[in-house]
A and B are shown apart, each in its own frame.
Chain A
Amino acid sequence: MRAVDAVMECLKAEGVKHVFGIPGGANLPTYDALYDAGLRHVQCRHEQGAGHAAEGYAKASGQVGVALATSGPGATNLVTAIADAMMDSVPTVFITGQVRTDLLGTDGFQEADVTGITMPIVKHSIMIQDPLEIPEAIHEAFHIARTGRPGPVLVDIPQDLSRAEIPYEPVDSVHLPGYQPTKEGNTKQIRLAAKALANARRPVIYAGGGVVNANASAELVELAMSDRFPVTCTLMGLGAFPAPHDQWLGMLGMHGTRSANYAMDEADLICCVGARFDDRITGKLSEFAPRAKFIHIDVDPAEISKNVPAHIPIVGDAKQILPKLCAEYRALDTDSARLDGWWERVRGWQEKHPLGYEDSEGSEIKPQYMIEALYEATGGDAIVTSDVGQHQMWAAQYFHFDAPRKWINSGGLGTMGFGLPSAMGAKVAMPDEQVVCVAGDGSIIMNVQELATCVTESIAVKVFIMNNGYLGMVRQWQELFWDGRYSAVDMGSSPDWVKLAEAFGATGVRVDDKAELPAVMKKVLEAEGPVVCDVRVTPEENCYPMIPAGQAARDMVG
Chain B
Amino acid sequence: MGEPGTKEVLNLDDLQASSGFRTGRKHILSLLVENKPGVLARISGLFARRGFNIDSLAVGPTDDDQISRITLTVDGASHPIDQVTKQMHKLINVIKIRDLEPNEAVARELALFKVSADGDSRGQIMEYAEIFRGRIVDVSKRSVTVEVTGPDDKIEAFEQMVRPFGLIEMVRTGEIAVSRGRTAT
What are 17 A-B contacts with C-beta separation under 8 Å?
A115-B38, A116-B41, A119-B45, A127-B37, A177-B34, A178-B34, A178-B95, A178-B96, A301-B86, A302-B83, A306-B83, A480-B5, A482-B7, A483-B7, A549-B3, A549-B4, A549-B6
Min Cβ gap A192→B in Å is 21
Min Cβ gap A318→B in Å is 18
Interface residues in B29-47 (C-beta closer than 8 Å to A): 33-34, 37-38, 41-42, 45
Asked if B142 CB lies within 8 Å of chain A CBs, one says no
Against A, the Cβ 8 Å flags (1 = close, 0 = not) of B1-41 are 10111110000000000000000000000000110011001
Asked if B49 CB lies within 8 Å of chain A CBs, one says yes
* Known pairs A127-B38, A302-B87; A120 contacts B92 (CB<8 A): no
Against A, the Cβ 8 Å flags (1 = close, 0 = not) of B35-73 are 001100110010001000000000000000000000000
Min Cβ gap B116→A in Å is 40
Min Cβ gap A548→B in Å is 6
* Known pairs A120-B49, A129-B37; A300 contacts B90 (CB<8 A): yes
Among B3, B49, B92, B94: residue with most chain A CB under 10 A: B92
Collect the chain A residues with CB atoms within 8 Å of residue B77's CB.
Answer: none
Give Cα distance in the complex from A240 to B139, angstroms.
74
Collect the chain B residues with CB atoms within 8 Å of residue A127's CB.
Answer: 37-38
Collect the chain A residues with CB atoms within 8 Å of residue B86's CB.
Answer: 301-302
Asked if B91 CB lies within 8 Å of chain A CBs, one says yes
Q: Knowing that A115-B38, A116-B41, A176-B92 are A-B contacts, what are 16 other residue pairs whose CB atoms are under 8 Å apart, sorted by A's residue number?
A: A119-B42, A119-B45, A120-B45, A123-B92, A124-B91, A178-B34, A178-B92, A178-B94, A178-B96, A179-B92, A301-B86, A301-B89, A477-B5, A481-B5, A481-B7, A549-B4
Q: Choose one: A119, A123, A477; the contact of B41 (CB below 8 Å).
A: A119
Is the interface on chain A under 10, 10 to 19, 20 to 34, or 35 or more residues? 20 to 34
Q: Which residue of A lies closest to B94 (CB)?
A: A178
Q: Which residue of B lies closest to A546 (CB)?
A: B5
Lowest 10 CB-CB distances: which A-B pairs, in order? A549-B5, A302-B86, A549-B3, A550-B3, A178-B95, A124-B92, A179-B92, A481-B5, A178-B94, A177-B95
Asked if A44 CB lies within 8 Å of chain B CBs, one says no
Asked if B93 CB lies within 8 Å of chain A CBs, one says yes
B41 and A548 within 8 A (CB): no
Against B, the Cβ 8 Å flags (1 = close, 0 = not) of A422-453 are 00000000000000000000000000000000
Collect the chain A residues with CB atoms within 8 Å of residue B93's CB.
Answer: 178
Asked if A144 CB lies within 8 Å of chain B CBs, one says yes
Give Cα distance in the complex from A384 to B42, angstroms.
36
Collect the chain B residues with CB atoms within 8 Å of residue A176's CB.
Answer: 92
Give Cα distance in the complex from A477 to B4, angstroms.
9
Q: Choose one: B41, B87, B92; the contact of A144 (CB below 8 Å).
A: B92
Collect the chain A residues with CB atoms within 8 Å of residue B45's CB.
Answer: 119-120
Give Cα distance in the complex from A481 to B37, angstroms.
48
Collect the chain B residues with CB atoms within 8 Å of residue A179's CB.
Answer: 92
Collect the chain A residues with CB atoms within 8 Å of residue B89's CB.
Answer: 301-302
Give Cα distance in the complex from A306 to B90, angstroms.
14
Give Cα distance in the complex from A482 to B93, angstroms.
47
Collect the chain A residues with CB atoms within 8 Å of residue B41's CB.
Answer: 116, 119
Against B, the Cβ 8 Å flags (1 = close, 0 = not) of A138-151 are 00000010000000
B6 and A178 within 8 A (CB): no
Give Cα distance in the complex from A483 to B7, angstroms.
9
Give Cα distance in the complex from A177 to B92, angstroms.
8
Q: Which residue of A lies closest to B39 (CB)?
A: A178
Give Cα distance in the complex from A302 to B89, angstroms.
8
Give Cα distance in the complex from A480 to B3, angstroms.
14
Min Cβ gap B150→A in Å is 32
Q: Which residue of B lies closest to A549 (CB)?
A: B5
Q: Which residue of B lies closest to A304 (CB)?
A: B86
Collect the chain B residues with CB atoms within 8 Å of residue A549's CB.
Answer: 3-6
Q: Which residue of A lies closest to B5 (CB)?
A: A549
Give Cα distance in the complex from A116 to B42, angstroms.
9
Give Cα distance in the complex from A506 to B92, angstroms.
44
Q: Which residue of B lies closest to A284 (CB)?
A: B3
Q: Which residue of A lies closest to B6 (CB)?
A: A550
B38 and A119 within 8 A (CB): yes
Give Cα distance in the complex from A115 to B37, angstroms.
11
Q: Which residue of A lies closest to B82 (CB)?
A: A305
Collect the chain A residues with CB atoms within 8 Å of residue B94's CB.
Answer: 178
Give Cα distance in the complex from A208 to B38, angstroms.
32
Give Cα distance in the complex from A482 to B41, angstroms.
41
Collect the chain A residues with CB atoms within 8 Å of residue B49's CB.
Answer: 120
Against B, the Cβ 8 Å flags (1 = close, 0 = not) of A107-120 are 00000000110011
Q: Which residue of B lies closest to A483 (CB)?
A: B7
Collect the chain A residues with CB atoms within 8 Å of residue B3's CB.
Answer: 549-550
Give Cα distance in the complex from A153 to B37, angstroms.
16
Give Cα distance in the complex from A124 to B92, angstroms.
7
B5 and A550 within 8 A (CB): yes
Min Cβ gap B29→A in Å is 15
Collect the chain B residues with CB atoms within 8 Å of residue A115's CB.
Answer: 38
Give Cα distance in the complex from A271 to B34, angstroms.
37
Collect the chain A residues with CB atoms within 8 Å of residue B38's CB.
Answer: 115, 119, 125, 127
Collect the chain A residues with CB atoms within 8 Å of residue B6's CB.
Answer: 481, 549-550
Collect the chain A residues with CB atoms within 8 Å of residue B33's CB.
Answer: 178
Collect the chain B residues with CB atoms within 8 Å of residue A124's CB.
Answer: 91-92
Collect the chain A residues with CB atoms within 8 Å of residue B90's CB.
Answer: 123, 300, 302
Give Cα distance in the complex from A154 to B94, angstroms.
18
Q: Which residue of B lies closest to A181 (CB)?
A: B90
Give Cα distance in the complex from A482 to B7, angstroms.
6
Collect the chain A residues with CB atoms within 8 Å of residue B5's CB.
Answer: 477, 480-481, 548-550
